[in-house]
């Protein structure tokens, strides 16, 4: 039995909706982890940071980042400060974060790259 695909994000995010609909359309079973209701699992966040790097995981284009005051944004200078912000404000994480059945991790929805996963 193959490991499950897990999608992390928030249910009302348009990108998360598109990603989940794409997986459904491809017949790819997946579990959904809601950051708002279930929080961000610290051990998973650490694995994502190790796999992707904090710059790829931090969504500087999103509403949450733009709503932060300049002083708070200025404190995010490396992995440790980005991690602290992501734990405090999970919606600043680029969505969706997907843990694939092969153990790899991606952030964001890219249908072409996902299609190549087979």
Of 60, 61, 41, 62, the C-alpha closest to 105 is 41
Mean local confidence (pLDDT), 8-26: 96
What is the average pLDDT value for the chain, to the nearest integer?
94
Beta strand spans in 1-118 (E): 5-9, 30-34, 97-99, 105-107
Rg (CA), the chain: 14
Mean local confidence (pLDDT), 54-81: 96
Q: Are strands 30-34 and 97-99 parallel, antiparallel or unpaired?
A: unpaired
Residue ranges and CATH numbers for the domains of the chain are 5-111 (3.40.30.10)
pLDDT for the residue 117? 82
| pLDDT band with cut points at 50, 70 and 90 for residue 1 | very low
Catalytic residues, by residue number, are 13
């Amino acid at each position: 039995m193959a490991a499950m695909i897990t999608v992390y994000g928030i249910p009302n995010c348009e990108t998360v909706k598109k990603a989940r609909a794409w997986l459904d359309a491809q017949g790819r079973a997946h579990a959904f982890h809601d950051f708002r209701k279930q929080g961000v699992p610290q051990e998973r966040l650490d694995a994502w940071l190790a796999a992707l790097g904090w710059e790829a995981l931090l969504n500087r284009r999103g509403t949450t980042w733009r709503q932060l005051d300049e002083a708070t944004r200025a404190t995010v200078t490396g992995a440790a400060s980005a991690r602290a912000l992501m734990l405090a404000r999970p919606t600043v994480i680029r969505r969706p974060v997907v843990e694939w059945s092969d153990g790899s991790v991606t952030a964001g929805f890219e249908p072409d790259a996902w299609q190549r996963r087979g």
